[in-house]
Chain A
Amino acid sequence: MKFQVNNNDVYASTGGRPFDKDKPLIIFVHGSGLTHMTWVLQTRYFAFHGYSVLALDMPGHGLSGGESLKSIEDMADWVSDVIDTVGYKEASLVGHSQGCLVTVECTARNPDKIKTLSLMGGAGAIPMNPELLSLAENNDPKAVELMMDWAHGPAGHFGGHPVPGLYHINTGSMLAKTRTIKNTLGVDFRACDNYKNGFEAAKQIKIPTLSILATDDKMCPVKEGKKLANLIEGSQIDIIDNCGHMMLLEEADRVLNVLKKFITTNYPAN
């Protein structure tokens, strides 16, 4: 569906169901340079099982208007604005990669508004390789190729997509090239590189939190994910073997099962 935040159009997938304000809200926040489509193997399930779902296209990404936001803090405030705009007082947040930085910061800033937090491939800080950052800011498609290489584990490189016939790396590349690379990936990478508040924000979080990490994640390695998770009181950790940073697609079923158990327990549907 489309709505407006700060006078800019926002697109969010509702998981194939009409948006229903009587159902609890789950918001999905994508990673650097990507779009709502990364969540398709999680969002549809929740949308058909008692939740209202918004898989956002961040400003300037996918089908959303406006320009990409330049800091993680601005993105966090924007997600909070989305919750207000769609008429909710609370929501459950799910983030992937950069989306973890955004949702951690958003949760720390809005302790009463966010009810559960689910982090996939998260870390307290995501310093960027300077060369990768430069490639992205200079609109070089090689930035996408490198990101797809590093972001995928065995399923991405060899294959075995959970949806028959889909090929991970090429699909991911297309998602990252939906808009101009320097305006999406370039801005996002710089925002990640600049963000320093992740660990402090994590210490303030007191809500049920889940971290899903993957053994073959080169972008946010398990030890970095654990470092973040250990700062969040009572957080749960689930580690997926033989899987890369794109666990939400590479091991979509496993991720959905873990996420389903966590959210339905801690933020049950009506």
Chain B
Amino acid sequence: MSDKKGMDPKTYKFDTLSLHAGYQPHKNAGSRQVPIYQTTSYLFDDVDHAAALFNLERGGHIYSRISNPTVAVLEERVASLEGGTAALATSSGMSAIFLAVMTLCEAGDHLVVSSQLYGGTVNLFRLTLPKFGIKTTFVKPRDTEGFKKAIQKNTKGIFGELVGNPGNEIMNMPEIAKIAHDAGIPLMVDATYQTPYLCKPIEHGADIVIHSLTKWMAGHGSSMAGIIVEGGKFDWMQNDKFPTMTQPYEGYHGLSFAEEFGPTAFTMKARAEGMRDFGPCLSPQNAWNVLQGIETLSVRMKKHCENAEKMVEYLLGHESVAWVSHPSVPDHPDHDLASKLLPNGKGSMIAFGIKGGKAAGEAFINNVKLASHLANVGDTRTLVIHPASATHSQMDEATLKFAGLSHDMIRLSVGIEDIDDIKNDFENGFRAARKPRLVSNQ
């Protein structure tokens, strides 16, 4: 019956939402493109209107630290693409993670966190959050049962990168979501590497999705931005673990976020409390820049994945390469899981080991010309880095080992250049790596 002609929903699909969601031109002087509201503050109609806005009686903008019309378009657009109820954009991916944790936790709380994370995120959980009284137990992403065992009475959530940085280990998101939900806590997933084009974590049980929009979502490498997306399914009132969500909040005249806002409660609290008190707001210009990238998200992601699979094939057959890690490789430990969670492509992050160890790795990095050596991923241009000496360099030897890093590892973010040009560039790098002592480091 449900397949009868005319009875399918006509709601807009992914590619259309990438271009249109969050914005209506007729409400903005007919401007077809989203305007940049380079503004800090917004007129109140009268005293009553001002009070109503401050008290969340009405929706609207007050001050751009809390919300901004251009940023709001980006927030709605990403929420629509992720299948989320609401989103809150932030100044960077790291501030998105911090704000999400601070919205969820209080001093004395505990989190269970995947060990395979961006180095900065590891440091946030390992070193910085304990200063706020929030402790973490790290679990290897493939140790699904380990997540369950690590949950304590004061655990308020599970966090992980869907595909670990930089080793490409994949969390079994549906199973870990079930573990979290059985314990009455939410699952937070950083899906920066995937974008909603490759995976919508909410469909697989995640409750909060986080992105560094700086990466594939924007693609152009011009702007820092992050976002928190709420799935809307998590029932904050099912237990007494989240009093700041369910009990009257002194900061808003006794408001209970869960009772009043239900499926958008987390976002409302993150904005009303987190943005108000911490203030890591996204600039309107950067929001607009990210919107330009999102317009071509599916086109770019297809090309990223296509090039990545060609590079995997090239690296697997290369004499200078010791090993290749990418979920598309059939003997990758998570290949089957990746096929289930990432049906549109396995992403464009490749980790590989270069024969000759650290010295060879350094020579390779110093001799590629097209590929850029920098601390970013997800640019339209091909990027390379040696994590042990850069992104993860603040870790000691034991932490590096626990994070699954080796000194021969090169992290490759495959761009959308002509694939032959990328391969030719790598040939130069490998040639130098085979003779490290004969090649200048400059």
Contact = CB atoms under 8 A, between A and B. Distances in A.
Interface of A: 13, 16-18, 35, 37, 40-41, 44-45, 48, 63, 131-132, 134-135, 140, 142, 145-146, 148-149, 154-155, 157-167, 169-171, 174-175, 177-178, 242, 252-253, 256
Interface of B: 1-2, 4, 7-12, 20-24, 26-27, 51-52, 55-61, 66-69, 71-73, 75-77, 79-80, 83-89, 232-233, 237, 252-256, 259-264, 267-268, 271
Contacts of A170: 79-80, 83-85, 232
A180 B109 CA distance: 33
Given A41-B59, A158-B21, A166-B267, A174 B262 contact: yes
A149 B2 contact: no
A159 B22 CA distance: 4
Between B57, B76, B87, the greatest number of chain A beta carbons within 10 A of the residue's beta carbon is seen for B57
Contacts of A154: 24
Nearest to A18: B254
B271 A242 contact: no
27 contacts: A13-B260, A17-B253, A18-B254, A37-B263, A41-B57, A44-B55, A45-B52, A48-B253, A63-B259, A131-B1, A135-B2, A142-B9, A145-B9, A159-B22, A161-B72, A163-B59, A164-B68, A166-B59, A166-B86, A166-B267, A167-B21, A170-B79, A174-B85, A174-B232, A174-B233, A177-B233, A252-B58
Contact of A17 (B11, B56, B77, B254): B254
Given A16-B260, A35-B262, A174-B262, A145 B60 contact: no
B75 A44 contact: no
Given A135-B2, A159-B23, A174-B233, A165 B88 contact: yes
Between A146, A161, A165, A171, the greatest number of chain B beta carbons within 10 A of the residue's beta carbon is seen for A165
A123 to B, nearest CB: 22
A149 B85 contact: no
A165 B86 contact: yes
A154 B57 CA distance: 23
Contact of A146 (B9, B56, B60, B77): B9
Given A165-B89, A166-B267, 8 more contacts: A16-B252, A44-B260, A131-B2, A135-B1, A142-B2, A142-B7, A146-B7, A169-B11
Given A131-B1, A159-B73, A161-B76, A13 B259 contact: yes
A61 to B, nearest CB: 12
Nearest to B255: A16
B7 A40 contact: no
Nearest to A129: B7
Contact of A165 (B21, B26, B76): B76
Contact of B76 (A131, A160, A177): A160
B262 to A, nearest CB: 4
A131 B4 contact: yes
A49 B38 CA distance: 34
A256 B9 contact: no
Contacts of A40: 260-261
A63 B236 CA distance: 12
B2 A165 contact: no
Given A142-B2, A166-B267, A171-B264, A160 B7 contact: no
A201 to B, nearest CB: 31
Between B60, B61, B66, the greatest number of chain A beta carbons within 10 A of the residue's beta carbon is seen for B60
A145 B9 CA distance: 6
B91 to A, nearest CB: 15
Contacts of A159: 20-24, 73, 76-77, 80
Contacts of A167: 21-22, 76, 79-80, 84-87
A253 B56 CA distance: 12
Contact of B58 (A131, A149, A162): A162
B79 A158 contact: no
A252 B252 CA distance: 20
A35 B258 CA distance: 13
B1 A158 contact: no
Contacts of B20: 158-159
Nearest to B20: A158
Contact of A158 (B24, B259, B260): B24
B58 A256 contact: yes
Contacts of A252: 58-59
Contacts of B232: 170-171, 174
A268 B271 CA distance: 34
B75 A164 contact: yes
A37 B236 CA distance: 15
Contacts of A35: 262
A175 B255 CA distance: 19
Given A17-B254, A165-B67, A167-B80, A148 B260 contact: no
B22 A45 contact: no
B291 to A, nearest CB: 12
A140 B61 CA distance: 38
A159 to B, nearest CB: 4
A18 B59 CA distance: 22
Contacts of B68: 164
A39 to B, nearest CB: 10
A63 B256 CA distance: 14
A149 to B, nearest CB: 4
Contact of A45 (B12, B57, B73, B262): B57
Nearest to A143: B2
A161 B262 contact: no
B234 to A, nearest CB: 10
A63 B237 contact: yes
B351 to A, nearest CB: 34
Between B68, B77, B259, the greatest number of chain A beta carbons within 10 A of the residue's beta carbon is seen for B259
A165 B271 contact: yes
